[in-house]
Structure 1
Amino acid sequence: MYLTKEEEKILDGEYGEILRRCMNLLVSLGDIYGAERLIPITSSQISGVSYKTIKDVGLEFLEDFAKENVKVKVHSTLNPAGMDLDKWKELGIKEEFAEKQLRIIDAFKKMGVEISCTCTPYLIGNLPKFGEHISWAESSAVSFANSVLGAKTNREGGPSALASAILGKTPYYGYHLDENRKAEVMIKLDEELLNLLKSLKFGESFYGALGYLIGKMVKNGVPYFENLYKLNPSNDNLKSLGASMAASGGVALYHAKELTAECKVKEVVDDKIEKISIGIEEIKESYEKLNTTNDKPDLICIGCPHCSLMEIKEIAEFIKKHDIKLDCDFWICTSLHTKAILDRMGHTRIIEKAGGRVVKDTCMVVAPIEEIGYKKVATNSGKAGVYLPSFCKSEVIYGDIKDILKN
């Protein structure tokens, strides 16, 4: 792997131990994956933020970095924490957990990382341009950046994304190379399924169910959706699709005709790739697998990935129109930025009047909801449907949020 003289000095420790460790990590990754060199990046999204997931080992690692006064070189945003950083007591978070979570946040702050605490950085200002090289570590954000935006990133881990943020570079391999971004399997929704979906005016949970199914099928591959555009999905729908594929498989990039960035400017598919047809039965089976109980939920939770302003606005209007009164807890997870606008617009007040909460900085997967006592969670998130049983020991009720609220 070629290194510049400056990079060699960093690797030799001439600029301090922390920079050496960062360079060693990136060079080791580059050697493993056959990178020829390092390339500059324009932004980073850093995971490994919740105390629930990184524990004391991760906390000590971050505090070691922070005490050396190193700073990130590029725009760097942060994944969700394990709690709402301001209203954690109201959510039932224990003080010991909160104390360590706040130490993690303080370490990132000392390194100059933006304390955004969201898995949708593209909604709050970290919005890479088409073709830009970035180093992102949140699986759903990686999918959205690669696919919908057409930026270029591998599916980084928290430490490698942090190292890249500090050095402003990443190894040149994987999805940074155009030849690795070609579609590997074509997905086509059959006409019977398309007609059914159109006639039912289907809800948002379809995209999570489809993503769950395709992720299981293609694993780490690059799928191409031939006719998904006929359903006119929104960016929020594409966000959900990509997040679910990343969770059930390892999909970091997908293409969709007339929808995703690279499909609009170059050929991403040829006639030789494998073709898969998806029908009604496959989608029904996907819903059945995501649903693990028919019981009533003790928590309704959406926002995995974090909800956009438009998603929450629509829910607030639905609650108001139908005069919804909830008989269980209801969390809508989003970013600090989005919640501030919701507060101003009055949407938060409508949700709270119905018995719900707009929860910022965290989500149901990385928060210790099992310790709070939530055992049955209703959600419209395919990603959460994959992770809740293993991460939180929760049973799942999966479907459209409007159906869940009405029931």
Structure 2
Amino acid sequence: MKLTPAEQTLLAGAEGRAAQKALEILAALGKIYGAERLIPVTSVQVSGVSYANLGEAGLQWLAEMAAGGGKARVLTTLNPAGMDIENWQALGISAEFAANQTRVLEAFARMGVVTTASCTPYLIGNLPHFGEHIAWAESSAVCYANSVLGARSNREGGPSALAAALTGLTPEYGYHLDENRQPSVMVELAGALVENSDFGAFGKALGERLESADLGRVPLILGIDSASVENLKSFCASLATYGGVALFHMEGITPEAGQVSPPRQRIKISVAEIQLARESLSDAPSPEIDFVSLGCPHLSIKEIARIAELLVGKTVTKEFWITTARPTKQIADRMGYTAVIEAAGAKFAADTCCVVAPIQGRFAALATDSAKACYYAYSKNKFKTVLLPFDEVVKVSCE
């Protein structure tokens, strides 16, 4: 990979050890993936934020990058932390974990990273335009940015995303190139999708088909008449989780769908397959459900308004987390939604979610509308799960 004189200067350490290390990471990635050059990016989303995932070794690396003079050169936002930064005690987080999580956030802040602590940066100010090159981690956000927004990002890891932030650069390979954004398989959907949970179950069914049949990772999807922002973020999270997909095209909905060449391979996803996917995520009998969570990915203000509407005059009987970005929570405060929700007994868990918070062993069974949350509830925390429509999840919280 050819480096410009300015990039060679960074690599030589002229602008500090952190920038040098970042360029080393990017140059190594470029060599592995056959990139010819580095290209500028306009924004970054960094993952690997929860202390539960990072541990002391990860925190030490962040501290070293901060001490080495690392500074973000483009808008850089952050994935969810392992706790609500302002209200961690109410969520049962230990003081020791909170102290370590705070150290993580402080290290990022010293590098000029905006500590948004959200998996939906596109809802709170990090919204790239069509065709922009970005370097995002967080699989659901990468899928959303590539597919729904038409921006261009590979599925970065935490270190490579931070390296992009500290240099403003990323290797030009993968989904940054036109030829890799062409669809590999046409997917015909039989049946209508309405709820977020429908889109999540479809994402699981499709993702697993792509994984098992070697059909490539860029589907062109036909048969969906409409999809809201909320539907699409649910679908992106599920498709990325179960199929490793970072880009899809959806006829009539996503911006590049009308510009690509139809692939030769075709498959159909039936209503029965989607129902099987839903059932596979629902092994928790109602009496066992002791944890309810909405907001994977983080809730929009529209979704929070709906929760408030459903909880008026109700009493929550289970641990119920409303997970969202801090700026969205602040709008909910202003609109009075927070007061209604908390009066019913539900808890806001801003800055975090049920996937990255240290909750293993605390609950037996989770009710949610998120197929992604179901995956991690079982694989990481050993919870049973039930996948339900959004309104039904709220109803279960009061039973």
Q: Same fold (TM over 0.5)?
A: yes
SS in 2 for 1:277: strand
Instruction: Pick the aligned partner of 2:217 from 214, 221, 243.
Output: 221
Task: Please list, as runs of the form range in 1=range in 2, the aligned pairs for 1:261-276 lying within 5 A after superposition.
Answer: 261-264=255-258, 266=259, 268-270=260-262, 272-276=263-267
1:366 aligned to 2:356?
Answer: yes
Kindly state the Cα deviation for residue 309 of structure 1 after the two structures are TM-superposed: 0.5
Q: Which runs of 5+ in 1 are unaligned?
A: none
Structure 2 contact 16–70 (Cα < 8 Å) conserved:
no
Structure 2 contact 368–388 (Cα < 8 Å) conserved:
yes
Partner residue of 1:405? 394
Partner residue of 2:308? 316
Q: Which letter maps to 1:276?
A: I
SS in 2 for 1:301: strand
Partner residue of 1:141? 141
Instruction: Pick the aligned partner of 2:282 from 291, 294, 297.
Output: 291
Kindly state the Cα deviation for residue 348 of structure 1 after the two structures are TM-superposed: 0.8
RMSD: 1.3
Structure 2 contact 206–269 (Cα < 8 Å) conserved:
no
SS in 2 for 1:352: helix
Q: Which runs of 5+ in 2 are unaligned?
A: none
Partner residue of 2:17? 17
| Whole-angstrom distance in 1 between the partners of 2:390 and 2:231 | 13
Partner residue of 1:117? 117
| Whole-angstrom distance in 2 between the partners of 1:127 and 1:94 | 34
| Whole-angstrom distance in 1 between the partners of 2:264 and 2:358 | 43
| Whole-angstrom distance in 1 between the partners of 2:324 and 2:244 | 24
> Relative to structure 1, is the Cα distance of residues 206 and 163 closer, same or farther in structure 2, using a 3 angstrom cutoff?
same
Structure 2 contact 310–394 (Cα < 8 Å) conserved:
no
| Whole-angstrom distance in 2 between the partners of 1:203 and 1:325 | 24
Kindly state the Cα deviation for residue 84 of structure 1 after the two structures are TM-superposed: 0.2
Q: Which letter maps to 1:241?
A: F
SS in 2 for 1:183: coil
Q: Which letter maps to 1:207?
A: F
Q: Which letter maps to 1:294?
A: P
Which stretch shifts more, 210-219 or 9-18?
9-18
Q: Which letter maps to 2:345?
A: G
Kindly state the Cα deviation for residue 406 of structure 1 after the two structures are TM-superposed: 2.4
Structure 1 contact 186–223 (Cα < 8 Å) conserved:
yes
SS in 1 for 2:118: coil
SS in 2 for 1:104: helix
Partner residue of 1:255? 249
| Whole-angstrom distance in 1 between the partners of 2:122 and 2:297 | 12
Task: Please list, as runs of the form range in 1=range in 2, the aligned pairs for 1:34-53 lying within 5 A after superposition.
Answer: 34-53=34-53
The two structures have a TM-score, normalised by structure 2, of 0.95
Q: Which letter maps to 2:203?
A: G
The two structures have a TM-score, normalised by structure 1, of 0.94
| Whole-angstrom distance in 2 between the partners of 1:82 and 1:344 | 25
| Whole-angstrom distance in 1 between the partners of 2:71 and 2:13 | 17
1:351 aligned to 2:341?
Answer: yes
Kindly state the Cα deviation for residue 404 of structure 1 after the two structures are TM-superposed: 2.6
Kindly state the Cα deviation for residue 12 of structure 1 after the two structures are TM-superposed: 2.5
SS in 1 for 2:355: coil
Kindly state the Cα deviation for residue 16 of structure 1 after the two structures are TM-superposed: 2.6
Kindly state the Cα deviation for residue 17 of structure 1 after the two structures are TM-superposed: 2.1
Q: Which letter maps to 1:210?
A: F
Instruction: Pick the aligned partner of 2:204 from 212, 224, 230.
Output: 212
Structure 1 contact 37–171 (Cα < 8 Å) conserved:
yes
Which stretch shifts more, 353-362 or 108-117?
353-362
| Whole-angstrom distance in 2 between the partners of 1:89 and 1:319 | 23
| Whole-angstrom distance in 2 between the partners of 1:71 and 1:107 | 11
SS in 2 for 1:61: helix
Partner residue of 2:327? 337
Deviation string, structure 1 residues 14-47 (Cα, Å, up to 9, x no partner): 3332222111100000001010000000000000
Kindly state the Cα deviation for residue 72 of structure 1 after the two structures are TM-superposed: 0.4
Partner residue of 2:299? 307
Deviation string, structure 1 residues 155-203 (Cα, Å, up to 9, x no partner): 000000000000000000000001000111111122xx23xx6xxxx42
Kindly state the Cα deviation for residue 288 of structure 1 after the two structures are TM-superposed: 1.2
SS in 1 for 2:90: coil
Give me the identity figure in percent. 47
Q: Which letter maps to 1:133?
A: H
| Whole-angstrom distance in 2 between the partners of 1:14 and 1:69 | 11
Q: Which letter maps to 2:271?
A: I
Structure 1 contact 333–360 (Cα < 8 Å) conserved:
yes
Instruction: Pick the aligned partner of 2:380 from 376, 391, 398.
Output: 391
Partner residue of 2:232? 238
Structure 1 contact 73–165 (Cα < 8 Å) conserved:
yes
Kindly state the Cα deviation for residue 204 of structure 1 after the two structures are TM-superposed: 2.0
| Whole-angstrom distance in 2 between the partners of 1:280 and 1:235 | 22
